């Protein structure tokens, strides 16, 4: 619940930021702050609704993921099936990504449309306990509706960024005098929105680690897997792909890019592993 409360708080801050900017822009250009807010929200919402309904197909195509059946890879398929049953969610589709770097992700707009994907490197490098931990983490994302949560966060952040771009565009074609304070807000607001979206993503990762450890009943195995994946992602970051999809993966596959933690979609690996080790020490998973 503590992660849910913090996520709600971050959403609250983003909504207040959004409404505040809508008030400024609406009052300045439209004479009505409510209309200004609604216009930008609708535009951003339309863009992200498309992503919400079709992103799973786009992601699978981007990484050449192939949907499999049980006879294609009984080991992976049956682990996903067992973990989904333990998590009390419908059996998701299972996919394999032809990639040597070990990683995994979940996509799909809801529990009934979910896909859990694992790379070939993941299947080759992890033992069964570690693989169960990784799959449980991804199933936890599905169970917690994280795809929907991040779609809402992206909508709000996108609307704020769109607002700022429109203001800068308007400035080039208008002689209206703009307050310096207003300009500072337009510069800082999109940055703040991005930081909040990243913070929400990091909270959801902590939550999925914790929930995944409970589902698999083996926090240490998940911690071991995360350490392996993190090390391999640094040594062998994926080629191609789109860094904007990094939040989907259990470990940032573009880790070698050197992003600071503040702008990272994932929490520091040391802290993730520390929390899982603490769970293993405090609770009995028999």
User: How many residues belong to the chain?
Assistant: 286
Two tokens at 81? 């099936």
Report the distance separating Cα 182 and Cα 2, nearest Å: 35
Report the distance separating Cα 135 and Cα 230, nearest Å: 16
Q: 267 in helix, strand or coil?
A: coil
Which residues have CB under 8 Å from 16's CB, separation 6+? none
Report the distance separating Cα 166 and Cα 183, nearest Å: 12
| Residue 65 burial (CB count, 10 A) | 23
Would you please indicate which residues are annotated as catalytic (active-site) residues? 138
Phi, psi angle pair for 249, to nearest 5° = -80, 155
Report the distance separating Cα 99 and Cα 104, nearest Å: 10
The residue among 214, 213, 212, 200 whose CA lies nearest residue 247 is: 200
Report the distance separating Cα 217 and Cα 24, nearest Å: 51
**249 DSSP assignment:** B
Report the distance separating Cα 48 and Cα 190, nearest Å: 17
Largest CA distance in the chain: 71
């Amino acid at each position: 619940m503590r992660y849910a409360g913090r996520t709600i708080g971050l959403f609250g801050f983003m909504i207040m930021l959004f409404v505040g900017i809508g008030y400024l822009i609406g009052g300045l250009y439209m004479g009505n702050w409510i209309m200004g807010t609604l216009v930008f929200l609708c535009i951003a919402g339309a863009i992200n609704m498309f992503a919400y309904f079709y992103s799973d197909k786009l992601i699978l195509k981007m990484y050449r993921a192939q949907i499999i059946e049980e006879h294609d890879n009984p080991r992976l398929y049956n682990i996903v099936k067992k973990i989904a049953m333990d998590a009390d969610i419908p059996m998701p589709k299972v996919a394999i990504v032809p990639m040597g770097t070990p990683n995994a992700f979940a996509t799909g707009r809801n529990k009934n449309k979910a896909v859990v994907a694992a790379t070939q490197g993941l299947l080759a490098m992890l033992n069964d306990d570690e693989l169960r931990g990784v799959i449980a983490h991804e199933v936890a994302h599905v169970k917690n509706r994280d795809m929907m949560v991040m779609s809402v966060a992206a909508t709000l952040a996108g609307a704020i960024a769109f607002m700022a771009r429109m203001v800068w565009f308007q400035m080039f074609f208008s002689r209206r005098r703009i307050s310096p304070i207003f300009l500072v807000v337009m510069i800082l607001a999109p940055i703040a929105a991005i930081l909040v979206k990243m913070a929400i993503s990091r909270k959801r990762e902590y939550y999925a680690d914790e929930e995944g450890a409970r589902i698999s009943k083996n926090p240490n195995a998940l911690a071991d897997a995360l350490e392996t994946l993190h090390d391999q992602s640094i040594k062998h970051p994926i080629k191609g792909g789109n860094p904007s999809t990094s939040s989907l993966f259990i470990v940032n596959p573009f880790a070698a890019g050197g992003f600071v933690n503040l702008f990272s979609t994932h929490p520091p690996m040391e802290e993730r592993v520390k929390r899982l080790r603490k769970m293993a020490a405090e609770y009995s998973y028999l």
